[in-house]
Amino acid sequence: MSVDLSLIERSACEVVDLLREQAVSPHDLLDTLAAQVARVESQVNALPTLCFERAHAHADALLKKPVSERGLLCGLPVPIKDLTDVAGVRTTRGSLVYRDRIPDTSDAGVSLLEARGGVVYAKSNTPEFGSGGHTYNGVFGITRNPWDLSRSAGGSSGGAAAALASRTAWVAQGSDLAGSLRTPSAFCGVVGLRPSPGRVSYGPSANPYDTLGIHGPMARNVTDTALLLDAMCGEVDGAPLSLREPATSFLDHARKAQRPARVAFSEGLGIATVEPEILAICRRTMDRLTSEGIGVDESDIDLSGAKQAFHALRGIAYATNYDEVLAQHRDVLNPNVIWNIEFGLQLDNQAMRTAQRTRSALFYKLNALLQRYDVLICPASIVLPFPVEMRDIRDAVGQHFETYIDWLAITYSLTLTGMPVIAIPCGMSASGLPVAIQIVGKPRGEAALLSAARAIEEIIGTWASGKPQAS
């Protein structure tokens, strides 16, 4: 057993360089992660299912190959969200319905990651079927925020974000529908990228043409996020929307940071009201951009029509994926999941027509804005991480939310547009909790977005005071 806890503070890119130089082996990394998991996981509950034996076997197979043939990640360990199948590993989808399920085959996205040198060692926690912005379920319980263990890690990729913040992962795979990569990144002080639909392939799926729910990368900084995106993207058989790999890697674009010339800033996209402390931190970030010569203009963009459209389209997705589960297992499902499925089942044609038209209008509105600006920036969450005892947010900043997801409008309104969006940390609250911005890029514009995000990250610099409680 070879444990070097100093490695957990290194970036993923640095660790991959060490792997290529054979200064460390995948086994060293797995042993180090196992030691860190033993230190912090009982407090955080980010990675409830571990598969280190399988990971070591995969590492053995990689090490039989020349270094040049070990793939882009070259043996870097990667946790997979518990919504996504990994062959031979318990995959519950956060649901009592599937608490004992062990799939025989891996999701296509997992197979691609492993073919590119990723080593799967754990499943990260998620709410049931990924529903909601707080990670808890009846199988594994609550995931806690490493910065304050009494607070939520966000959701639904909360386990992935908490693993990154507590140093039990260098990078992490996740997914995003209403903000499931971006909200936990904001809560835990890490980076999460929602790519364009088709950029990251997965499947098989009950709804392979879905453009709302996507998979994407998370990491502790922008360049590491770009590294994992490179390992996740590309055409996959059986994924009808999958896009080809770019000629130039996303990591190369991130490393060639290009400052945006003009930035549009919105307080709440016309659909959300943000806690004053969060807004003040985001505005200070805009002031820093201005001081570095970047033009920042106030935007009056209004995405308020997104609410009804998103509920309708999300409802159809839930009904498509889970109507049979509801019919057979209603007694063990989370009430929020039941509501989601039933809402989708009762939608009529008029609601769907209206939703599609609204979605189109929102895309064209945002696309027109992005013809005048390099990126759009807004807060990544309207609230700070909330107490773990709360199941969701129903009242905040003088607003009452009719459903358990409407506090996520600042993220799900952007989901509808299909634009790539990255969340990066930009400061801390007076109580020591992370705050983040969302940066929105042009259609299929991940390369330019990552380049701009890296430049902004460099300007922001050290945003954290202190370290997470569990790290």
- Long-range CB contacts (< 8 A, 24+ apart) of 204-208? 204/108, 204/238, 206/320, 206/321, 207/317, 207/320, 207/321, 208/238, 208/239, 208/240, 208/241
Distance CA 290, CA 262 (A): 10
Asked if 223 and 254 touch (Cβ cutoff 8 Å), the reply is yes
* DSSP assigned state of 132: S
Give 400's Cβ-side CA count (13 Å radius).
1
Domains of the chain by residue range:
5-460
Q: What is the DSSP string of 61-80?
A: HHHTS-GGGSTTTTT-EEEE
Q: Which amino acid is at 300?
A: D
pLDDT at residue 451, as a whole number? 98
Q: Give the pLDDT confidence of 364-383 residue by residue, as tens digits.
A: 999 999 999 999 999 999 99
User: Which residues, at least 6 apart from 334, have a Cβ–Cβ distance to it below 8 Å?
Assistant: 127, 128, 131, 137, 138
Q: Give the pLDDT confidence of 92-124 residue by residue, as tens digits.
A: 999 999 999 999 999 999 999 999 999 999 999
Asked if 58 and 27 touch (Cβ cutoff 8 Å), the reply is no
pLDDT at residue 34, as a whole number? 98
User: Which residues, at least 6 apart from 49, have a Cβ–Cβ distance to it below 8 Å?
Assistant: 82, 89, 90, 91, 92, 122, 123, 140
Distance CA 12, CA 79 (A): 13
User: How many residues in the chain?
Assistant: 471
- H or E, element range at 354: helix 349-370
pTM of the predicted structure, to 2 decimals: 0.98
CB atoms within 10 A of CB 342: 15
Give the Å distances, CA to CA, from 199 to 83, 157, 251, 306. Answer: 19, 18, 15, 23
CATH number belonging to domain 5-460: 3.90.1300.10
Q: Which amino acid is at 143?
A: T
Distance CA 230, CA 249 (A): 6
Distance CA 460, CA 1 (A): 39
Distance CA 288, CA 240 (A): 42
pLDDT at residue 1, as a whole number? 65
Asked if 93 and 127 touch (Cβ cutoff 8 Å), the reply is no
Asked if 183 and 380 touch (Cβ cutoff 8 Å), the reply is yes
Task: Give the strand pairing for 421-428 and 434-440.
Answer: antiparallel
Q: What does the pLDDT profile of the chain (471 residues) look like in tens digits?
A: 689 999 999 999 999 999 999 999 999 999 999 999 999 999 999 999 999 999 999 999 999 999 999 999 999 999 999 999 999 999 999 999 999 999 999 999 999 999 999 999 999 999 999 999 999 999 999 999 999 999 999 999 999 999 999 999 999 999 999 999 999 999 999 999 999 999 999 999 999 999 999 999 999 999 999 999 999 999 988 899 999 999 999 999 999 999 999 999 999 999 999 999 999 999 999 999 999 999 999 999 999 999 999 999 999 999 999 999 999 999 999 999 999 999 999 999 999 999 999 999 999 999 999 999 999 999 999 999 999 999 999 999 999 999 999 999 999 999 999 999 999 999 999 999 999 999 999 999 999 999 999 999 999 998 988 899 999
pLDDT at residue 2, as a whole number? 87
Q: At what angle do helices 12-20 and 26-44 cross, to 10 degrees?
A: 150
Distance CA 460, CA 219 (A): 17
Per DSSP, which regions of 245-358 are E strands? 262-265, 295-298
Asked if 234 and 245 touch (Cβ cutoff 8 Å), the reply is yes
pLDDT at residue 452, as a whole number? 98
Please tell me whether residue 212 adopts helix, strand or coil conformation: coil
Partners of 386 in the β-ladder:
none
Distance CA 374, CA 365 (A): 15
| Residue 156, preceding peptide bond in cis (omega within 30° of 0) | yes
